Amino acid sequence: MLQKVKELDIQVEAFVPQSSEELEQFRIQMLGKKGAISQLFTEFKNVPVEQKREFGASLNILKTKAQEKIAQLKQSLEDKNVTSHNLDLSLPADPVKLGSRHPVALVHNEIVDIFARLGFTVFNGPEIEDDWHVFSALNFPPEHPARDMQDTFFVNQKDEVLLRTHTSSVQVRAMEAQKPPIRTIAPGRVYRNEAISARSHCMFHQIEGLYIDKDVSFADLKQTLLYFAKEFFGKDTKIRMRPSYFPFTEPSAEVDVSCSLCGGKGCNVCKYTGYLEILGAGMVDPNVLKASGIDDKIYTGYAFGLGLERIAMLKYGITDIRVLFENDVRFLEQFKSVF
């Protein structure tokens, strides 16, 4: 009898079912009413008294072991069923939603890339500035209206600490920090105390360009800007320079590009002029060179400054500047690019 218990124990130990039907069959075979283990219980009464104790104990152990093993196998077969029947592992995973670049960042990256090809490196300056770098060193007369509280956000008016109103301040920092030849562009945020409307904002972005060397001429400036315009707006783009005034350049010019929407024929974006104004430029005033520690008898240079929002609006046909700062995902996700 004990031998029989041992044999059944080995069978229970070794049993590996392929299916839940096979497992159920095994359960009936072992623990069913007429199963092998149940059979041994009915035979218990025939066991000689002196063996009853040992036989009874091992039979109980066998029964518990078989019950536990069957329960365990049942569970693992159920788990397997879940993975193999209810889950299709060949389905594609949930798509990862990629973000998109902000249109101002796209335009910024493209412009930095174009000027990098001409040897311009990026030079950064602070957004919180002093009067010297934003105005005085740039040849602004003391009574110039741009210094007025109307336009400038002062952080501390007594010490003349302010938010820069243009990135031209970085010109001064670049000249203070480097010796010519200097070829830098300075992208960044600028602030002006202006009413917010579809056309203007109190915070926007500019890129300032500066080139200082011996014998730099207005022709170099014109050719550089023409190259930029063709690279950015397309190879058929033309530029036009109109005389203008900035305290820090002499002579100064406003630069227009032929309208990329109508090709110069005239449309409502260029207001039927065929041209769009995109930047200010000129030859660096000798007073600015002197103020920044550059010998104006040896060196000349040109500078230019452009507004990124304006260029982004022209490029993408955006008619209201405010959408650029509202962070509306429905607007932003339209701009996908590798830049």
Residue 265 CB, shortest distance to ligand DAH, in Å, is: 28
Report the C-alpha gap between 307 and 194 in whole angstroms: 15
Nearer to ligand DAH, 22 or 176 (CB): 176
Residue 151 CB, shortest distance to ligand DAH, in Å, is: 11
Residue 237 CB, shortest distance to ligand DAH, in Å, is: 20
Residue 333 CB, shortest distance to ligand DAH, in Å, is: 31
Q: Which residues pair with 1 in a beta bridge?
A: none
DSSP assignment letter at 274: S
Residues that bind ligand DAH (CB under 6 A): 166, 168, 208, 246, 249, 280-282, 303-305
Nearer to ligand DAH, 17 or 247 (CB): 247
Nearer to ligand DAH, 233 or 302 (CB): 302
Please report the DSSP string for 38-75 in residue order. HHHHHHGGGS-HHHHHHHHHHHHHHHHHHHHHHHHHHH
Task: Order across the sheet with 128-130: list the strands.
Answer: 128-130, 161-163, 154-156
Nearer to ligand DAH, 232 or 304 (CB): 304
Contact by Cβ (8 Å): 200, 321: yes
Q: How many CB atoms lie within 10 A of CB 86?
A: 7
Strands 249-258 and 182-191: unpaired
Nearer to ligand DAH, 12 or 314 (CB): 314
Report the C-alpha gap between 167 and 13 in whole angstroms: 81
Nearer to ligand DAH, 184 or 237 (CB): 184
Residue 292 CB, shortest distance to ligand DAH, in Å, is: 13
Cite the beta strand spans of 158-248 per DSSP E: 161-163, 182-191, 203-213, 239-246
Residue 187 CB, shortest distance to ligand DAH, in Å, is: 13
